[in-house]
């Protein structure tokens, strides 16, 4: 009986200690700092008076060639045939497109067509640079 009573007292003591520890952890979670940390914004909002300045990068000395534009932007999809894009140098894949004329190809390159986004996602490319890239692709895919 004494042994059972000792075990019961020990169990009650352990339960009390565990409960006290749980309450302390809960109190720690409810401190002002802990709450502010959990609900802090993940970003910042800028208004007209607090606009970050754009990063200035070096600009090229002139328009890029069709080959340069192809290598830096177009080749990502047209090199591997991503999402059905006709592959660079594949005469059969380009034949029907080339038959529609360069003006149509220019329009598709600039405005986008089917799965191809506008400007092929090369938003720093001028229309003339995109046209040069189309010419480069056509010359190498006939």
Question: What gap in Å lies between CA 105 and CA 98, rounded to an integer?
Answer: 7
Structure token pair of residue 73: 């932007």
Which residue, among 75, 88, 93, 72, has the nearest Cα to 140 in the 3D structure? 88
Any idea which fold 66-139 has? Answer: Cytochrome Bc1 Complex; Chain D, domain 2 (1.10.760)
pLDDT of the residue at 49 = 65
The pLDDT tens digits of the residues spanning 68-127 come to: 999 999 999 999 988 889 999 999 999 999 999 999 999 999 999 998 999 999 999 999
Q: Shortest CA distance to 110 belongs to which of 74, 61, 84?
A: 74
Overall pTM > 0.75? no
pLDDT of residue 25: 65
d(C-alpha 2, C-alpha 53), whole Å: 78
Over the stretch 74-86, which tens digit does the pLDDT of each residue have? 999 999 988 889 9
Confidence (pLDDT) at 101: 96
Using the predicted structure, report yes or no on whether residue 59 has a pLDDT greater than 60: no
Mean pLDDT, the chain, rounded, equals 82
Whether 91 contacts 142, CB under 8 Å: yes
Give first-to-last CA distance, the chain, whole Å.
99
pLDDT at 3 exceeding the cut of 70: yes
Q: What is the structure's pLDDT at 30?
A: 74
């Amino acid at each position: 009986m004494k042994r059972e009573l000792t075990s019961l007292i020990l169990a009650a003591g352990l339960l009390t200690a565990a409960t006290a520890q749980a309450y302390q952890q809960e109190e720690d979670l409810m401190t002002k700092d802990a709450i502010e940390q959990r609900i802090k914004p993940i970003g910042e909002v800028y208004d007209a008076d607090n606009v970050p300045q754009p990063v200035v990068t070096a600009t090229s000395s002139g328009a890029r060639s069709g080959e340069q534009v192809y290598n830096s932007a177009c080749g990502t999809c047209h090199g591997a045939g991503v999402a059905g894009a006709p592959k660079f140098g594949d005469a059969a894949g380009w034949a029907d497109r080339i038959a529609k004329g360069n003006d149509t190809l220019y329009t598709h390159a600039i405005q986008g067509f089917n799965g191809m986004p506008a400007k092929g996602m090369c938003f720093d490319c001028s229309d003339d640079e995109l046209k040069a890239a189309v010419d480069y692709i056509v010359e190498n895919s006939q």
